[in-house]
Amino acid sequence: MNAKSRFSIVLFGSPGSGKGTQAELIAKKYNLEHISTGDLFRNELANETELGLKAKSIMEQGHLCPDDITLNMLYQHIQKLEPDKGVILDGVPRTIQQAEMMQGVNFEHVIPVSIVIYLNVDREVVIQRMLKRAKLQNRADDTPETIEKRLENYEISTAPLKSYYAKKGILFEVQGMHSIDNTFKQICEIIDLQLKK
């Protein structure tokens, strides 16, 4: 795999910021592979693999899975794709350590990041969205207690990625408070501009 030739977008934001919905739309419009590490973990869980069983209680408690397990799972998945297929990464990296591993620090593989799109949504809106999703999708980790834990983990472990990628000059912020269409329009403007470069 020539990982360096892949166009890859990281969609980044708190749980409930609308990453999954936007990632689907982006993948369709730009013919990218949508990769959600949350979905990959849920798939492992559904298949009751060793990895899935390891991740189960961690996920149910709203904690983050270990960085090395997450990155190895991601890498195995990306490797199966066509070499030039671009990807949209939804929910990874979620720690600075994961971002460094994706650059090849203490990890033998490189998972390139072309641009990072940050979905900015207020905490109150995010909580309401997640409670609604809990009712609709019956996700085991969308209970009020886990939501609180996941948001706390986001603030501590994931939010620092904002300045990490801003320093690299590849962070683009989008206001995700309004409609799905409005957010998607902002994202497309950013991607179109990058693709022209």
User: Which SS3 state, helix, strand or coil, does residue 119 take?
Assistant: strand
CB of 37 to ligand AMP, least distance (A): 3
Nearer residue to ligand AMP within complex by CB, 129 or 150 = 150
- Side by side, the strands of the sheet bearing 115-120 are 33-36, 87-90, 8-13, 115-120, 171-175
CB of 91 to ligand AMP, least distance (A): 3
CB of 159 to ligand AMP, least distance (A): 14
Site residues for ligand AMP, window 5-64 (CB under 6 A)? Answer: 15, 36-38, 41, 58-59, 62-64
Q: Quick check: 125 binds ligand AMP (CB under 6 A)?
A: no
Count helices and strands in the chain by DSSP H and E runs: 9, 5
Question: Binders of ligand AMP: how many residues, by CB under 6 A?
Answer: 18
Q: Quick check: 176 binds ligand AMP (CB under 6 A)?
A: no
| Helix (H) or strand (E) segment spanning residue 88 | strand 87-90
Other Cβ atoms closer than 10 A to 112:
14
CB of 53 to ligand AMP, least distance (A): 14
Decide if 96 contacts 102 (C-beta within 8 A). Answer: no
Percentages of the chain per state (helix, strand, coil), in multiples of 5? 55, 15, 30
Q: Quick check: 190 binds ligand AMP (CB under 6 A)?
A: no
Q: Quick check: 134 binds ligand AMP (CB under 6 A)?
A: no
The C-alpha angle 167, 151, 112, rounded to 5 degrees, equals 35
Q: Quick check: 130 binds ligand AMP (CB under 6 A)?
A: no
**Binding-residue pattern over the window 72 to 91 for ligand AMP, x denoting contact by CB under 6 A:** -------------------x
Nearer residue to ligand AMP within complex by CB, 45 or 191 = 45
The C-alpha angle 171, 176, 177, rounded to 5 degrees, equals 145
Q: Quick check: 165 binds ligand AMP (CB under 6 A)?
A: no
Residues 6 or more apart whose Cβ sits within 8 Å of residue 147: 15, 16, 62, 127, 130, 131, 134
Q: Quick check: 129 binds ligand AMP (CB under 6 A)?
A: no
User: Can you give the binding site for ligand AMP, defined by CB under 6 A?
Assistant: 15, 36-38, 41, 58-59, 62-65, 70, 91-92, 94, 98, 141, 150
